[in-house]
């Protein structure tokens, strides 16, 4: 049975009716009609859409209408990607108001009128924030997340909420990437029987399939980079503290962050500039050494690889033969463009793994319970969530359990000496003694590695068959990492990860942009049919 839900279907049906072209707005008269094989705004970047609006060829209202119709075509009909959980009922009105501002001579910036999709663990009124869980189906926070407020101030239109791995892949040690009890199984648009990875699955799929202009994901360890790579898009995990986590369902404050997902490095840079900034409600942003108004896109001009010193983490090539072959081609292209590429290694590679696990398990309960209490959620403790899942096991746990929830609930708190030691040791091993040491050993500008292997078949019986990654050190250190498409294997995308020290986003984006322009490896998905196994669908409220 194809994974879907009557809730999502009903919402999309209602919006299909609500989003029929209006006869009155002249600028919407030629609104494109999407299909699974063609779309008028396919692969259009932010600059393309802004230029079209500036020329009067389209409007924000028309863009929203077109993307909503595209979502209906691909999520409810066609390949049924299951990328979307809910749509913003105010999106059309917000877009019309921004069009009126443009007509009056006010353009807020490059995001003015641009549709943006959010992962559904980010607060955005008037929509629910579910984290993919039935337990939070009725949670409607009263305020936007800090980053969402910044997006709206920049003129972006919040299009809706994307499906995700339930609880950002932190409910079970064998969870199925892209599956949630609200949204069902998100499907990879390159091959429908392959995993979209997670946990920002829906955001990555929607961006890849041109269901939105750009999107926002979140990451604790790989939840932006992995789905971006296997769905053929750009994903940036910023330095922890560059983007506020206020208003985001947490896993662990030591590693949590939100970041942009886009079809180009330039669009990711524009999006990052909008969401970065200090927030009094998130103490981590007090250490932010980058001005909130930093123009990352401006830094891309004239980007070149000539003279850039790049360290290849060769031990990460063992992820898969396909990843190794594509990475060697990428290295050859960068050398031909004037980069100096040498073999490098992180001397402490993977020595932090046990400590990272302790940090995540120890931080999850207090961080989550604070989020739930502040929003007067239907359940306000981890124990209550565990009990809810047990009571609704047939709907919530048809495929995997909640062993991580139970382990986290047994932790003794943030004052535990074991936790404090693990947190300090993990950050040191991955950061100063890991990434920093590797960069300093050979005076490198950046480290590179394959992001992960190709997308694996969705296997509801056994869970994910994750091949490994090249980004783990950046996640644990709280340092930035950028994945850029680097090619395909049998039609499945592969990504190349660029890793730098703390607060080096501008450098990573500049180098990643130069590589992207050199190779232009991204190709849009073809929605290849597969033979997906039966996957438990999402559920109604």
Would you please indicate which residues are annotated as catalytic (active-site) residues? 119, 199, 223
- Rg (C-alpha) for the chain, rounded Å, is 22
**Residue for token digits 């994750």?**
466
Report the candidate in 222, 223, 209 with the shortest Cα–Cα distance to residue 493: 209
Ranges of beta strands (E only) in 410-536 are: 446-450, 481-489, 492-499
- Give dist(CA 320, CA 34) in Å, integer: 36
Task: For residue 228, give both structure tokens.
Answer: 């971006």
Q: Are 157 and 113 within 8 A, CB to CB?
A: yes
φ, ψ of residue 391 in degrees (nearest 5)? -70, -25
φ, ψ of residue 448 in degrees (nearest 5)? -130, 150
- Give dist(CA 521, CA 480) in Å, integer: 22
Report the candidate in 449, 430, 250, 285 with the shortest Cα–Cα distance to residue 356: 430
Q: Are 243 and 275 within 8 A, CB to CB?
A: yes
Task: For residue 214, give both structure tokens.
Answer: 């750009």
- Give dist(CA 15, CA 22) in Å, integer: 13
Q: What is the DSSP string of 249-282?
A: --S-TTT-EEEEEESSHHHHHHHHHHHB---TT-
Per-residue burial over 18-55, b if 16 or more Cβ lie within 10 Å, else e, is ebeeeeeeebbeebbebebeebbbeebbbeebbebbee
Task: For residue 15, give both structure tokens.
Answer: 């919006």
The packing angle between helices 505-519 and 265-275, to 10°, is 160
> Using CB atoms within 10 A of its CB, is residue 530 exposed (0-12), middle (13-18) or buried (19+)?
middle
- Give dist(CA 331, CA 329) in Å, integer: 5
Beta carbons within 10 angstroms of residue 123's beta carbon: 26
Task: For residue 303, give both structure tokens.
Answer: 């980007």
> Using CB atoms within 10 A of its CB, is residue 218 exposed (0-12), middle (13-18) or buried (19+)?
buried
- Give dist(CA 218, CA 224) in Å, integer: 6
- Give dist(CA 340, CA 449) in Å, integer: 15
- Give dist(CA 258, CA 531) in Å, integer: 33
Residues with Cβ within 8 Å of 272's Cβ and at least 6 positions away in sequence, in order, are: 236, 238, 242, 243, 259, 260, 296, 505, 509
Residues with Cβ within 8 Å of 481's Cβ and at least 6 positions away in sequence, in order, are: 225, 236, 237, 471, 474, 475, 497, 498, 499, 500, 508
Report the candidate in 216, 276, 223 with the shortest Cα–Cα distance to residue 251: 223
């Amino acid at each position: 049975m194809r994974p879907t839900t009557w809730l999502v279907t009903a919402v999309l049906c209602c919006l299909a009716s609500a989003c029929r072209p209006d006869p009155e707005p002249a600028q919407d008269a030629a609104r494109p009609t999407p299909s699974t094989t063609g779309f008028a705004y396919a692969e259009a970047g932010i600059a393309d859409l802004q230029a079209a609006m500036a020329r009067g060829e389209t409007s924000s209202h028309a863009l929203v209408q077109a993307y909503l119709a595209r979502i209906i075509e691909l999520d409810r009909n066609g390949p049924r990607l299951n990328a979307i959980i809910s749509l913003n009922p105010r999106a059309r009105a917000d877009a019309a108001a921004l069009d009126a501002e443009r007509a009056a001579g006010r353009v807020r910036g490059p995001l003015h009128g641009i549709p943006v999709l959010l992962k559904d663990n980010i607060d955005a009124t008037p929509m629910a924030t579910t984290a993919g869980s039935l337990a939070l189906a009725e949670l409607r926070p009263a305020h936007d997340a800090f980053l969402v407020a910044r997006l709206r101030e920049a003129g972006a239109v919040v299009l809706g909420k994307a499906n995700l791995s339930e609880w950002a892949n932190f409910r079970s040690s064998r969870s199925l990437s892209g599956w949630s009890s609200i949204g069902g199984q998100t499907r990879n648009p390159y091959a429908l029987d392959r995993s979209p990875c997670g946990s920002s699955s829906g955001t990555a799929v929607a961006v890849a399939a041109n269901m939105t202009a750009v999107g926002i994901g979140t990451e604790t360890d790989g939840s932006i980079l992995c789905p971006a790579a296997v769905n053929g898009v750009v994903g940036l995990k910023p330095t922890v503290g560059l983007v506020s986590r206020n208003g985001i369902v947490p896993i662990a404050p030591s590693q949590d962050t939100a970041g942009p997902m886009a079809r180009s490095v330039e669009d990711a840079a524009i999006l990052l500039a909008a969401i970065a900034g200090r927030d009094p409600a998130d103490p981590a942003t007090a250490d932010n050494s980058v001005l909130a108004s930093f123009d990352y896109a401006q830094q891309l001009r004239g980007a070149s690889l000539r003279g850039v010193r790049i360290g290849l983490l060769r031990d990460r090539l063992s992820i898969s033969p396909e990843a190794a072959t594509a990475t060697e081609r990428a290295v050859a292209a960068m050398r031909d463009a004037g980069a100096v590429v040498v073999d490098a290694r992180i001397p402490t590679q993977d020595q932090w793994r046990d400590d990272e696990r302790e940090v995540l398990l120890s931080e999850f309960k207090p961080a989550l319970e604070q989020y739930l209490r502040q929003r007067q959620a239907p359940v306000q403790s981890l124990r209550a969530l565990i009990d809810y899942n047990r009571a609704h096991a047939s709907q919530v746990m048809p495929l995997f359990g909640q062993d991580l929830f139970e382990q986290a609930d047994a932790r003794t708190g943030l004052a535990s000496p074991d936790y404090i030691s693990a947190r300090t040791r993990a950050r040191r091993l991955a950061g100063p003694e890991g990434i920093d040491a590797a960069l300093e050993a050979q005076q490198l500008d950046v480290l590179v590695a394959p992001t992960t292997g190709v997308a694996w078949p969705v296997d509801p019986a056994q869970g994910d068959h994750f091949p490994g990654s090249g980004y783990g050190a950046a996640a644990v250190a709280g340092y930035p990492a950028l994945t850029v498409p680097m090619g395909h294997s049998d039609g499945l995308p592969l990504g190349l990860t660029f890793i730098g020290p703390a607060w080096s986003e501008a450098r990573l984006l500049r180098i990643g942009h130069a590589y992207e322009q050199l190779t232009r490896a991204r190709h849009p998905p073809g929605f290849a049919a597969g033979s997906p196994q039966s996957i438990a669908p999402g559920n109604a409220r």
